[in-house]
Amino acid sequence: MGRVHRFVGTADSFDWEDVPEKVVTGPGVAGVSGKILVGPLDGAPNFRIRYFRIEPGGHSALERHGHDHGVYILHGHGRVRMGEEEVEVSPGDAVYIPGWELHQFSALGNEPLGFLCVIPAK
CATH superfamily of 22-120: Jelly Rolls (2.60.120.10)
Report the distance separating Cα 16 and Cα 69, nearest Å. Answer: 22
Buried b (16+ CB within 10 A) or exposed e, 74-110: bbbbbebbbeeeeeebeeebebebeeeeebbbbbbee
- Looking at residue 122, its pLDDT comes to 78
Active site residue 117: yes
From the number of C-beta atoms within 10 Å of its C-beta (0-12, 13-18, 19+), residue 52 rates as buried
Beta strand 77-82 with 69-75 is unpaired
Torsion angle defined by CA atoms of residues 14, 26, 67 and 62, in that order, rounded to the nearest 10 degrees? 100
The residue ranges of every structural domain in the chain are 22-120
Catalytic entry in 32, 37, 49, 117: 117
Q: What is the pTM of this model?
A: 0.95
Report the distance separating Cα 66 and Cα 79, nearest Å. Answer: 22
- Looking at residue 67, its pLDDT comes to 97
Tens-binned pLDDT, residue by residue, of the chain (122 aa): 899 999 999 878 899 999 999 999 999 999 999 999 999 999 999 999 999 999 999 999 999 999 999 999 999 999 999 999 999 999 999 999 999 999 999 999 999 999 999 999 97
Report the distance separating Cα 70 and Cα 119, nearest Å. Answer: 7
